[in-house]
Amino acid sequence: MEFNSKQKMVLYIVIVIIVIMFLFPPWRSVGDIHYNWGYKPFLTNDPYGEVNILRLIVQWIGTLIIGGIAFLLVADKKKK
């Protein structure tokens, strides 16, 4: 399957967004009550916090769905 230039651009943008989300994931506090701490670098060594894996996975799924829709919308309508 050959992609047009717009599809390649969408693919590259989605990949960059996923990588940035991996490098700066959402954090939350550890304990009985979880507070969202925002986004920090992945390699942050914080004994009172942890990566919010569920939120990160939901963000990745949302990005892949939106990226997939954009990928299909910019596809060539002509069939060869």
- Interval 59-80: pLDDT, tens: 999 999 999 999 999 998 776 5
Of 7, 29, 22, nearest to 59 (Cα)? Answer: 22
Model pTM score:
0.84
Nearest to 15 by CA among 69, 60, 70: 60
Low-confidence ranges of the chain (pLDDT < 50): none
